[in-house]
Amino acid sequence: MKTPKINWILLTVFGIASLAVFVFSLVNPAFRGNAYAPLREGLLPPPDPIQITIYYGTEKRDWLEQMREDFLQTDPRVNGHPIEIELEGMGSREMVLSVLDGSIEPTVLSPASSLQISLFQDLSTQKFGQAMVNTADQQNCHPLVETPLVLVAWKERGQALWGLNPGGDLWKELWDAATDPQGWASYGHPDWGFFKFGHTSPLKSNSGFMTSILLAYEYHQKSANLSVADIQNPGFQSWFLQLESSITDFGDSTGSYMRDIIAYGPSKYDVVAVYESVAIEQAENAIGRYGELYIYYPPRTLMSDHPYCILDADWVDADQQTAARLFLDYLLSDPAQESAVMDFGFRSVDPDIALDQTGSPFLVLGANGIQIDSLPPEVEVPKGDVLDALLDFWARNVSD
């Protein structure tokens, strides 16, 4: 029995179409899903992954690692290619300098603050003739979460110095204690030894940089218009260096520094300047070691906003930029922002996500000084030349 001519025609057309799909799938991974499954999985090579590398401030390590896992479970793709994400933790200032000197070639920089990105934008323009990031481009450079700078003390020692509410004298009283040769003996606790204050290195870590800025504003009793002349003021320099000389160990990054604080306790640190989110994350770990932590808010603060900025660099191609934007969109989604608040103690960049939800760490740690609504006012971010002058002064006179 002969096969009807029409069937041969249809079979031929089907074979040609299948072959076309097969061949097109070989050269275009985006079309791969249209290939017949046995052919696709058995014969077609898997498309190469698109790899993106994100250098980030370590204080958001746990949140980013969890979000990466959740994001990759959705099988995100760009033009048919799967996405791979490498996360590398580093101090905020250090990552900026490492890009500028060619030590690292990331797809994304995510330091703790836009302060570092603003500096990076200026410095990359000076070095390469064009900026590697654009802070005004919200599609490619956007804050992820927020957290203010705070002072964290072992509760017993914080209350011996400040009580529960030091108010506007917080920095003055800290300076007095740190520079007092009698140490804790002046406060009725000679067995505690010297008063031990600490912060990270402003040359490597954003929280140390922010602390230095707040100290400069404190000395000059202003909240805006900090100038190069203010940094060069002999009175400020002497006052500032007296405090810095009392510090024995400047940390490289805020997250790892806070973990050391929990590990070593008040034998090494009485009070430290860190982020609110880091204090929240580690508060439970402190219990059962050396007592409870208590969080103090300075009279004026700076907000750490954790920008996520995709680099405009010759080692970042269009597919990598697209993949990085997909992950950014995921990090800004409601589930990711909810997790940042509820699981990791950040403040969301979405004002609709409340901090006072049932089970929120902001509620749980209210007795440890956490404030939800009554945050202190922010100081103005100084101009680039002022920031450079402060960093240069620290590097020449303190360093680590």
Are residues 340 and 329 in contact, defined by beta-carbon separation less than 8 angstroms? no
303 by DSSP, 3-state: which? strand
Quote the tokens at residue 94.
Answer: 């250090």
Q: What residues contact 372, with CB distance under 8 A and at least 6 apart?
A: 355, 356, 362, 363, 366
**Count of CB atoms within 10 A of residue 160's CB?**
18
pLDDT reported for residue 45:
65
pLDDT reported for residue 290:
77
Tens digits of pLDDT across the chain (400 residues) = 454 555 555 555 555 545 554 444 444 554 444 544 454 445 556 789 999 999 998 889 999 999 999 999 999 999 999 999 999 998 888 899 999 999 999 999 999 898 889 889 988 998 999 999 998 899 999 999 999 999 999 999 999 999 877 878 999 999 999 999 999 999 999 999 999 999 999 988 889 999 999 999 999 999 999 999 999 999 999 999 999 999 988 888 777 778 888 888 888 899 999 999 989 988 877 776 778 889 999 999 999 999 999 999 999 999 999 999 999 999 999 999 999 999 999 999 999 999 999 999 999 888 889 999 888 999 998 887 899 899 999 999 997 5
Between the two ends of the chain, the Cα-to-Cα distance in Å is 92
pLDDT reported for residue 282:
82
Q: What residues contact 133, with CB distance under 8 A and at least 6 apart?
A: 109, 117, 120, 121, 124, 140, 141, 309, 310, 311, 312
Residue-range domain boundaries for the chain: 7-24+33-41, 50-145+306-348, 147-304+357-397
Mutual angle of helices 170-179 and 155-162, in 10-degree steps: 100
pLDDT reported for residue 16:
56
Superfamily of domain 147-304+357-397: Periplasmic binding protein-like II (3.40.190.10)
CA distance 372 to 43: 58
pLDDT reported for residue 36:
46
Superfamily of domain 50-145+306-348: Periplasmic binding protein-like II (3.40.190.10)
User: E strands along the chain, which residues?
Assistant: 50-56, 77-78, 81-89, 108-110, 141-143, 145-154, 197-198, 271-275, 293-296, 303-304, 307-310, 347-348
pLDDT reported for residue 44:
55
50-145+306-348 and 147-304+357-397, same CATH topology: yes
